Amino acid sequence: MQIGETFRILLSLRNLVKFMAGASALGMGMATNAAAQPNASGEIIALWPQPPAGALNPAMAEVVEQTASDPAVYSSRRTRGITKPHVIALPAAQPNGAAMLIIPGGGFAWNYFDHEGYHIADVLNRAGITCFILIYRLAQDGWSNPASVGPADAQRAMRVIRANAARFHFDPARVGVMGFSAGGFLTATLATRYAAPFYAAVDATDQLSARPALTAPIYPVQSADPAYAYGGLAPSLFGGPPTPAQIREWSPDLNVTPEAAPTFLVHAEDDTTVPVANTVRLRDAMVAAKVTVETHLFAHGGHGFGAGYLPGSADGLWLPLFLKFAREQKLIA
């Protein structure tokens, strides 16, 4: 596969990522020695044999922005215009047999692949988890089926990851998914509708299961109900106010079954972008279905804290809690 502009830039900036891993580790009380630095390798794996059809703008081109004016303080990059969705494989130096699909957020308009991608992978890699960052199609870029393009890419990514299990030395039964904000919507959708036909099968990989062994929607966009929903959900996915049928179909909390995987939830009470009710409602639905769920609600943190290191917020506090949960659920042996 020809590497897109996003990841020619990304792979050329590994030293910046290494620096930021040290900064994140400081915020999390972790050592910043050489062993704590991220794996410098990264392989781009295409999700689809051919670029998916349905783009409404044939001239759509990949765009990358650096959104932090001072990367020495905090690196945040984002990309849009994705026509060739893919995952970035980041193997753990000492793999323990587990893998994680990481889905960045960005309000259905961007993929924020640093603080909700690479920085997360740095931490999980150190715990022995091989990571795959998903760069997925975005509803706001203009697609003939905007609600389903992200879920289709996430579902396909789970299958592609499992198809590569032997090559990356992990157990295909121990693949989890973690997603942030709009990426949390894709994560919660995988948790509840992993077998839904979001796309027609294209090859033998689609015979593999898309069910995650564990899910972690982090400050997720989750409900399509206007009483609780993130304000950008309906315009992005439906082009206007949702119908009752769309609310029912696209609200993960209304689609929880006992087959949903164990789930780890994080949100900040002072999140003014995605109401904390999104997480609370998903938690309540999981409990009602007798699905194992662990929930952490922080008083402060706002929205989009990812794996940053801002003092006094949820930054850096939740990832150790997630790793403990992953061990308890046997994702990490």
Helix and strand counts by DSSP (H, E) for the chain: 10, 11
Least confident range from 40-49, 201-210, 297-306: namely 40-49
pLDDT bucket at 312, cuts 50 / 70 / 90: low
Q: State the Cα torsion 213-90-47-156 to the nearest 10°.
A: 10
pLDDT score of 73: 55
Q: What is the pLDDT of residues 108-137, one digit of tens each?
A: 999 999 989 999 999 999 999 999 999 999
Tokens of 212: 């995650």
- Orientation of helix 14-27 relative to helix 119-126, angle to 10°: 70
pLDDT score of 307: 82
pLDDT of residue 189 exceeding 60 = yes
Segment 305-321 shows an average pLDDT of 78
Q: Which amino acid is at 126?
A: R
Q: Which amino acid is at 18?
A: K
Structural domains for the chain:
5-50+59-328 (3.40.50.1820)
By the 8 A CB rule, do 181 and 105 touch? yes
> How far is Cα 277 from Cα 270, in angstroms, rounded to an integer?
11
pLDDT of residue 7 exceeding 70 = no
Tokens of 46: 């295409």
pLDDT score of 311: 59
Cβ neighbours for 300, distance < 8 A, ≥ 6 positions apart: 268, 269, 270, 312, 313, 314
Q: Which helix (H) or strand (E) holds 129?
A: strand 129-135
> How far is Cα 21 from Cα 178, in angstroms, rounded to an integer?
19
pLDDT of residue 321 exceeding 60 = yes
Alpha-carbon Rg for the chain, nearest whole angstrom, is 18
Segment 265-276 shows an average pLDDT of 97
pLDDT score of 69: 61
pLDDT of residue 2 exceeding 90 = no
> If you search the block for the tokens 């759509």, which residue do you land on?
60
By the 8 A CB rule, do 182 and 106 touch? yes
